[in-house]
Structure 1
Amino acid sequence: MSIIKTIREQSGFTQAVLAKQSGLSLRTIQRLECTNKEPKGHTLKMLSNVFKIEPSVLQEKFQRIGKAQESEKTSIQLINLSILAFIGIPFGNLIFPFILWWKNRKSKLVDEVGRRIVNFQIIWWIIFSILMCISPFISRTFFSNTQIILYVLLVGYVFNIVIVFITAMKLRRNDFNFLKTPLRLI
């Protein structure tokens, strides 16, 4: 939730009243609440006056939130990168992300995003296992001289590695809207 919105509601102000009392535009108040960015200069001074809070105290609230968000982002990045353990450890893409998610799920953001990452890996592992099991039969039936199981293995691993890198790039841009599958197993 937005810091400005929280303080505004605790003070009993509407956005319009806050805008009028602070001398700021309604659009500025809406933007601050929507983006949750730290107000600077004149805006910080005017809001501090209306809320009867020292500017340094208001800035400190934003800095604490920023540190917490960085910690959450780091936890999500670790969950995502731990998927790569599947390259050398069977079920590593399930075990390590699950443990990291479970340990850090107190945060709403880490819980939701971590759950989506682990859920995607479970679905990937199920599909990958089924393809690995049926590929020898398909190979014998349709491709008499070719062992497609190696191709399935290679494509499956490369696909999962690409997903990890795409997710990492989205996390870097603070885009947490990914891996939303219609099937939720956890």
Structure 2
Amino acid sequence: MSIVKKTRRRLGYTQAELAKKTGLSLRTIQRLESNNNKPKGHTLTVLSEAFNIKPSVLQKQFQNIERTKKSEATSIRFINLSVLSFLGIPFGNIILPLILWRKDRKSKLVDEIGRRIINFQIIFSAILAILLCLSPFIGRKFFSNTSIILYVLFASYAFNIIIVCRNAIKLQRNNFDLPNLPIRFI
């Protein structure tokens, strides 16, 4: 919930009453509440007067929110990139992201996106294990005794690296719409 909305409700104002008290338009109040953008200049001054707090205190509350959002985004990026540990550590794509997720999961955003990343990696690992178990039989049946196990392994690794890179690009743009599979393990 935005700072303006939370404070407005705590003081018992409706949006229209706050707009009237501050001289701001109703649309401005709605935009401040929906975007949680930091008010500046005149808007900051009149909101501070209406809320009976110093402008510096109100501004500091918005700075804390921005810092929290940046911290959450950084945590999610680390969780995503930690998946690459599978290149050197067996099941590192699950273990390291799980450790990082548990450390920062107090945040709703980190909790939800971390779960998505880890669930995807659990499913990826299960499918990879099945494919590796079946590849000797498939290779014998369709490729005349050619061992395809390494091809399956490298193709799967390449696929996972592409997914991690795709997620990293999205996260860099603050797009947290990562794959949300219907099967949830955590």
Normalising by the smaller structure, the TM-score range is over 0.9
**Alpha-carbon distance in structure 2 between the residues aligned to 1:43 and 1:67:** 21
1:68 alignment partner AA: T
Indicate the residue corresponding to 1:151 in structure 2: 151
**Alpha-carbon distance in structure 1 between the residues aligned to 2:18 and 2:135:** 65
Indicate the residue corresponding to 1:98 in structure 2: 98
**Alpha-carbon distance in structure 1 between the residues aligned to 2:144 and 2:185:** 37
Displacement after TM superposition at 1:184 (Å): 0.6
Q: What aligned pairs does 1:18-167 form with structure 2 within 5 A after superposition?
A: 18-144=18-144, 146-167=146-167
Displacement after TM superposition at 1:150 (Å): 2.3
**Alpha-carbon distance in structure 2 between the residues aligned to 1:10 and 1:49:** 15
1:9 alignment partner AA: R
Displacement after TM superposition at 1:149 (Å): 2.1
Displacement after TM superposition at 1:163 (Å): 1.2
Indicate the residue corresponding to 2:168 in structure 1: 168
Displacement after TM superposition at 1:15 (Å): 1.2
Aligned-pair RMSD on alpha carbons?
Answer: 1.3
2:177 alignment partner AA: N
Displacement after TM superposition at 1:179 (Å): 2.0
1:97 alignment partner AA: P
2:17 alignment partner AA: V
* Number of positions where the alignment pairs a residue of Structure 1 with one of Structure 2: 186
1:72-128 Cα deviation digits (max 9, x unpaired): 222111111111000111111111111111122122221121111111110111111
Displacement after TM superposition at 1:63 (Å): 0.7
**Alpha-carbon distance in structure 2 between the residues aligned to 1:25 and 1:180:** 39
**Which of 171-180 and 59-68 deviates more?**
171-180
Which stretches of structure 1, 4 residues or longer, exceed 6 Å deviation after superposition?
none
Question: Equivalent residue of 1:46, what SS?
Answer: helix
**Alpha-carbon distance in structure 2 between the residues aligned to 1:21 and 1:147:** 76
**Which of 147-156 and 74-83 deviates more?**
147-156
**Which of 79-88 and 140-149 deviates more?**
140-149
Question: Equivalent residue of 1:174, what SS?
Answer: coil
TM-score by length of 2: 0.94
Stretches of structure 2 that go unaligned for 5 or more consecutive residues are none
1:35-92 Cα deviation digits (max 9, x unpaired): 1110111211121121111111110001111112222222111111111000111111
Question: Equivalent residue of 2:13, what SS?
Answer: coil
TM-score by length of 1: 0.94
**Alpha-carbon distance in structure 1 between the residues aligned to 2:174 and 2:3:** 19
**Which of 104-113 and 133-142 deviates more?**
104-113
1:133-172 Cα deviation digits (max 9, x unpaired): 1111111111115433222112211111111111112221
